[in-house]
Every structure is written in C-alpha cells, then in structure tokens.
C-alpha cells in the first residue's frame, strides 16, 4: 500500500477519534488494523476527502454497502489497494468492533441474512450517525453523550474491571521504596501497588530489588523464620511476599524482556524452597498482553500469570484449582 495523502491520513485520524469517542477500544490494535477499521467505517458512511462529516450517510439514507463495495470505495477514495478476494476481512476484522459497538449495522438490507451472505449491506446505525454528523462542531460532545446515555460502551464491556476488595500491602513504617527508572522497575511497583492488594491476602513484602539496587528492600529475619533458601541474587525472584493469613509465599517474576517462570525455573525454585514452612505460589507478571504473548509458550504449568494493564484478572496455567499452592 502506498503512503496515504495528507488529506486521507487526516480523515483517518479523525475517524479513529470518532470511533474512540463512541466507545470503541483501540488499545492493542496495530496501527494497520486501526487504519483499516477507520477506512472501512468511512466507506460505510460515504466519507472521503472533500466530504464533510455532517454529510455522513446512514441506513435511513439508503446507503448500504456489501463488503466488496466497501473494498472498492477504500481503493478508489482512501488510498488502498486491497484485493477483492479479501472481502471476508471486512466482516471478520475491519468492522468487527464498530458492529459490536452498534455504530455499524451488519445486515442493514436483510437482518435475517446468513452470516456468510455476501449480499448483506453494512450501514451506519442512524442513532450513531446523528452523533457522527456533529463531529468538529460545537454540539459534538453533547451528541456523543446522548449516544452513550444509559449504555455501557464496548470498551467498558471488554475491559471487564472487577470490583475486588483491596487489602493494604504490609511494609515496615519506616520503609519507603524508591524505584529507579525503567520498565522493569515500573512493573515491580505495579506488582506491589496493584497485584498484592487484590490477590495477596494482606501480604507483607519480604524482598524486592530494582535494576540498580538488588536489595532495595529485604526482610531477612522474616525470610529466615520461613526457612527460605539462602539468598543469592542470581536465584531470587524479583518480588517475594508472604501472606500470614494463608501462609502463602509469593515468588513473583516481573517480565518485560526476559525470565518468566518456565518449567526449569519453577523446578529450581521448588528445590530451593523444599524446606520452606510456607506454601509457595509462582507468579509471572507482565506489563501488557503484547509482552505476555511473547512468552506464553514458555510459562510453566501450575503457575499463575498476572498482567498489569488488566489488574483485576489472572491467568491460571492448569492445575486443579485457581490461585493457591500445589503439592511439592
């Protein structure tokens, strides 16, 4: 695909602003996926450089395009060169989120059409179109508020934040953790401030290091009581915390570029903690899903995964239970 003109790129950027304002999540989409979604949306609305947003067409105007017609519009007016055989991507990828957010109607011509019916017409939802036509005008914010009134946006639905109780993480009164800069240290800070208050059952932090200071905080006395293994910085997880109410010892690796809890890492930690009086739980923490995907194939079974940008959720790798220790 050739570089789009400035006029096309400006229109695409505006379309993404509109879609985001109407509650469509853009986070996690590649730049190319965002661009194609924006252009398919513009095609459905009949918008191209030289046509104002107030002239967007909806289903009541009789503008209903098949997926092939959408491709033709994108190629003719929006700088694309998409093969006609790619028509199924329009339904499966490019308009998937606008449809789910009720911005685009997927079967405007025939609501009862089969999913694979290529004659189905895509059209702007007239309710959404009333807001879209106000983009760039003084009434835009009010129009968006009216469209979203009384409904949960698609972004909110997909985020699925859970209202979980949070318990303060325990640190000695005279301790303040000052992490240095960097993604790894930022993730460790999130583990202490977000993961442990939700899933730590009142955990006390017993060890945490940062990139520059491997012993940023160390409660040697408590670790000794738990018969934790002899400390060696090349073997320590990034964060060690203990819940007295559960007698669970959390061994947490913060992964931004390397070193998740693999089968080999888990096995070595099991050997090192065989005399520990607490039950051991293994956690690999990632800053976001994109980083997690890079390491998903390496994660050990009977361990847990936590992702900082969705802090109320966890991923459980097998086992006969959710968060909890396994027999050693």
CATH class given for the domain over 183-317: alpha beta
Q: What would the mean pLDDT of 69-98 be, rounded to a whole number?
A: 93
- pLDDT above 80 for 110: no
Which residues lie across from 239 on neighbouring strands?
A: 208, 252
Could you give the CA distance from residue 196 to residue 207 in angstroms, rounded to a whole number? 13
Lowest mean pLDDT among 19-28, 114-123, 251-260: 114-123
Contact 284, 299 (CB under 8 A): yes
Contact 235, 285 (CB under 8 A): no
Fold of domain 6-158: Arc Repressor Mutant, subunit A (1.10.10)
pLDDT, position 165: 66
pLDDT, position 272: 85
- pLDDT above 90 for 306: yes
Per-domain residue ranges for the chain? 6-158, 183-317
The answer to whether domain 6-158 and domain 183-317 are alike in fold is no
> How do residues 191-248 score in pLDDT, each as one tens digit?
999 999 999 999 999 998 776 656 678 888 888 899 887 655 457 789 999 999 999 9
Residues 6 or more apart whose CB falls under 8 angstroms from that of 28 comprise 289, 290
**Res. 152 pLDDT band, cuts 50 70 90:** confident
207 three-class SS? strand
pLDDT, position 236: 79
Which residues lie across from 283 on neighbouring strands?
A: 252, 304
The residue ranking higher by pLDDT, 103 or 321, is 103
Chain centroid offset of residue 48 CA: 31
Q: What would the mean pLDDT of 33-59 be, rounded to a whole number?
A: 96
Q: What would the mean pLDDT of 63-70 be, rounded to a whole number?
A: 94
**Res. 169 pLDDT band, cuts 50 70 90:** low
Lowest mean pLDDT among 77-86, 151-160, 206-215, 307-316: 206-215
Strands of the chain (E only): list them.
104-105, 123-124, 204-208, 217-218, 239-243, 248-254, 279-286, 303-307, 314-317
pLDDT, position 153: 86
Could you give the CA distance from residue 22 to residue 148 in angstroms, rounded to a whole number? 7
- Give the whole-number percent of the chain exceeding pLDDT 90: 61
């Amino acid at each position: 695909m050739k570089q789009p003109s400035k006029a096309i790129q400006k229109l695409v950027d505006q379309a993404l602003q509109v879609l985001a304002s109407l509650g469509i999540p853009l986070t996690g989409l590649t730049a190319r996926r965002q661009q194609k979604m924006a252009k398919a949306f513009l095609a459905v609305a009949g918008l191209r450089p030289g046509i104002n947003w107030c002239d967007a067409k909806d289903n009541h105007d009789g503008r209903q395009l098949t997926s092939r017609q959408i491709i033709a519009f994108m190629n003719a007016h929006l700088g694309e060169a998409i093969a006609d055989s790619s028509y199924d991507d329009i339904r499966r990828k490019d308009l998937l989120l606008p449809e789910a957010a009720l911005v685009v109607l997927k079967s405007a011509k025939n609501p009862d059409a089969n999913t694979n019916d290529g004659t189905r017409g895509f059209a702007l939802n007239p309710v959404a179109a009333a807001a879209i036509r106000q983009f760039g005008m003084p009434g835009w914010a009010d129009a968006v508020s009216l469209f979203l009134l009384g409904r949960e946006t698609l972004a909110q639905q997909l985020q699925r934040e859970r209202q979980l109780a949070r318990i303060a993480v325990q640190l000695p009164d005279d301790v303040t953790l000052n992490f240095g800069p960097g993604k790894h240290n930022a993730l460790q800070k999130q583990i202490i401030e977000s993961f442990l208050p939700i899933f730590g059952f009142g955990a006390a932090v017993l060890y945490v290091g940062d990139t520059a200071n491997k012993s940023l905080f160390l409660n040697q006395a408590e670790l000794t009581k738990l018969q934790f293994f002899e400390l060696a910085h090349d073997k320590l997880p990034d964060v060690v915390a203990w819940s007295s109410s559960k007698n669970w010892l959390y061994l947490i690796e913060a992964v931004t570029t390397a070193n998740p809890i693999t089968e080999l890492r888990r096995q070595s930690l099991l050997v090192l903690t065989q005399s520990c009086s607490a039950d051991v739980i293994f956690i690999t923490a990632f800053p976001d899903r994109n980083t997690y995907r890079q390491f998903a194939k390496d994660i050990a079974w009977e361990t847990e995964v936590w992702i900082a940008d969705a802090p109320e959720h966890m991923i459980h790798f097998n086992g006969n239970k959710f968060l909890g220790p396994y027999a050693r």
